[in-house]
Amino acid sequence: MNKKIENIMTYVMIVIGALLASFSVICILIPNDAIDYGTAGIAIIINKLSGINLSICVLFVFTPFLIASAFVLGKQFFIKAVLGTFAYTVGLECFEKIPFEINTEHFLAVAFGGALLGAGLSLILRHGGCIDGSEIFANIVLKKLSDKTGKNFSMSFILILFNICVYLTVFVFINRNSAMLSLLVYVVATTVVDHFTDHYEAIKQVTIITGNCDKIVSDIKEKLNKTCTVMDSYGAISGENKTVICYINYFELQKMRDIIAENKGSFSIVTTVDEILR
């Protein structure tokens, strides 16, 4: 019963986060000449240049990434991403029809809108969802690099490059003020997201202390395609055991949690790693 309630609350939080993000975009950012970042930013650019309905633009841009996520990040992530995207697009459609907008001094409005957007995205990310294709794109690139080189990489560089392209497009095809305001949105929103998700774009080290590591190591190799470091350790109460260390990214954490939950009697710690030296 507790597991069912936890799952329901996870989906509720994703919906609330998506609605917060859509409210920020429609009622605060766009009226103040700023746009969201990532694939949502691309959708807003298409909307501004073509006049096509924003919700349709969001679905058009995000759907290919959404489909790719089912193969790269798994079924659970795909379901949560679909739910978040649906709630986000419905929110965009509904808030466009509500006669409410914060149209004040641009800097203040954009700072507040960016913080509200970051709060919504934090709720979604903390509960294993996603409403932006740039993170999925970064995961696909990282998986290819990891499979080819056997090394772990942070997604920060890829996300920054992706958003530089978005803001350069805004600068060239819309106007420079909108590009600079949108950059402020990115800085504020990502600062809020980093605060509540502990640098989601960085590499995560998972340390698992267990009495029997064979099944955990096997599941990590099979479900995450990751290798592990296994060391002998000793607990003052538990006695002889094993310490398993594995490096993953933020979007693989949910799979790791499921693996650990299936293997009872283990103790695990997740820490953020800024850099891995080889």
Which of the four pLDDT bands, split at 50, 70 and 90, describes residue 61?
very high
pLDDT the model gives residue 203: 85
pLDDT the model gives residue 94: 92
How far apart are alpha carbons 215 and 262 in whole angstroms?
A: 10
Please give the average per-residue pLDDT across 69-78, as a whole number. 82
Hey, how many other C-beta atoms are within 10 angstroms of the C-beta on 174?
Answer: 17
57, HSE (Cβ side, Cα atoms, 13 Å): 18
- Tell me what percent of the residues of the chain surpass a pLDDT of 90: 36
pLDDT the model gives residue 46: 93
At 78-118, the pLDDT tens digits run 899 899 999 999 999 999 888 776 666 778 888 899 999 99
At 180-190, the pLDDT tens digits run 999 999 999 98
Query: CATH assignment of 203-273?
Result: 3.30.70.120
How far apart are alpha carbons 74 and 52 in whole angstroms?
A: 32
- With a cut of 70, say whether residue 278 has pLDDT above it: no
- With a cut of 90, say whether residue 119 has pLDDT above it: yes
- Structure tokens belonging to residue 155: 């997604």
pLDDT the model gives residue 103: 60
0.85 exceeded by the pTM?
no
How far apart are alpha carbons 128 and 255 in whole angstroms?
A: 10
How is the chain split into domains, by residue range?
2-197, 203-273
At 176-223, the pLDDT tens digits run 888 999 999 999 998 998 888 877 778 889 999 988 888 899 989 888
Please give the average per-residue pLDDT across 7-21, as a whole number. 92
pLDDT the model gives residue 104: 67
